Amino acid sequence: MMDNSAERAIAQSNSYVRSSLASVDSCVHELLLRQERQERTTLKLIASENFASSAVLEATGSIFTNKYAEGYPGARYYAGNEIVDELENLAIERLKRLFGSEHANVQPYSGSPANQAVYRALLKPRDKVMGLPIPEGGHLTHGWDINFSGTDYRRVPYGLHEKTQQIDHDLLRDTAKRERPRLIWIGGTAYPRVFDYEVMAEIALEANAYLVADIAHISGLIAAGVHPNPVRHCDVVSSTSHKSIRGPRGGFILSRNEDRYQALYHPKSKYNLARRIDRAVFPHLQGGPHMNVIAALAVALQEAATPAFRVYGQQTVKNAKALAQALLERGYDLVTGGTDNHMLILDMRDRPLSGKAYAERLSKAGIITNFNMVPGDPRDPAVTSGIRLGSPAVTSMGMREGEMVQIAAFIDLVCRQPNDPDVHASVRKDVANLCAAFEVPGITDR
């Protein structure tokens, strides 16, 4: 038990931490305030962004920032880690319980480092890897040629059905049987439909391939029970810890303990799958983990296990569907014709401007999006023909289907008159007024 003087000292210290930035660095403080103002008055429709809670932000900026903790709980290379051992074990157990996984690693610095660790744990250089290409909605680390995954490993892409623009499982199966990849990725950054993990697991088994799900975008939807859970179908699952799950900017890996292909691909290894994953993260790729991020992840996982989070996940999908429907009714084309999750991709290839140009105009009007490639995109990846929209952040603010109809009207106004600054200014004012009616987690709730 602490005496009153010690408690007062801690309270004063916390107060100092909250108020010290302005006096120490007025430039950074001003940039922080400007960012807060921007996020309070604009519509954050980037599918990979969200609002972390005040509790998550508090843990991220906590005293755990100061601690070096190379190694794993119970096997550190620095002394004084008894408390952070408890912290990391807490995050691990919460993560395993939330997703029903046998093993979890919470140390990856982000999603791409997590995926790099997966490669190191499962493959050898030049092994074959199947993944969805970026124009079809995949991620850089799934075998794209300018990424390490496409230069260190042999890339075998799979694609979409020409008519449905969804994964062509028949073609994928034929390709996997012919090419015999060592690893198949399922997941992406711009795929607005539900992934069929059961069918993909059958295909991977037929090819003697590891199946790895990248759930960076949909981890929150899985935790909320509105998207299928890949854990029982996949050998490994990787993710960021932000995006739809509303945590800090970090990553995690889930896996089975035992490797079903140990005798085939790793006969000389003395380590099981879980241990190889851990060793790939540390010491192979990383040094000391960011314990402040792990603390914030533990908080986010606690929040994700609540009934309120399930409601948020359900509403995120409802909002994406409502936004998609409202845009379809205004004559816009959507990749796959709609969405099953939190994102939708506008196909603007038949419109006069590029996706980048439309995204820039929308930003001037306070609608923050990102330009994105679409299947069969005729434009360069630096400009693209698409715009990706996401519902997680506006859902976290408390917006519902009615607001999605309003947002679609704002988008339509700007895209129909992309070169009219008066329209941009008018929509910008309306957007700010709409946002003012809602709380912004981590900003207005402190």
Positions annotated as catalytic residues are 68, 70, 214, 240, 243, 249
Is 139 annotated as ligand-binding? yes
Structure-block tokens of residue 54: 């005040």
Q: What are the DSSP calls for 356-377, one per residue?
A: HHHHHHHHHTTEE-EEE--TT-
Task: Report in angstroms the alpha-carbon separations of 441 from 19, 184, 222, 394, 446.
Answer: 20, 37, 21, 10, 8
CA distance 193 to 386: 17
For tokens 């096997």, the residue is 75
Quick one: CA dihedral 47, 49, 50, 52, positive or negative? positive
DSSP state letters, 104-156:
EE---SSHHHHHHHHHHHH--TT-EEEE--GGGT--GGGT-TTSHHHHSSEEE
Q: Cite the DSSP H helix spans in 250-306.
A: 262-265, 273-279, 291-304
Determine whether the annotation assigns residue 172 to a binding site.
no
Whole-number Å distance between alpha carbons of 95 and 107: 12
User: Which residue type is seen at 192?
Assistant: P
Here the tokens at position 368 are 């923050």
Q: Pick out the residues of the known binding site.
A: 138-140
Q: Pick out the residues of the known binding site for (6S)-5,6,7,8-tetrahydrofolate.
A: 138-140
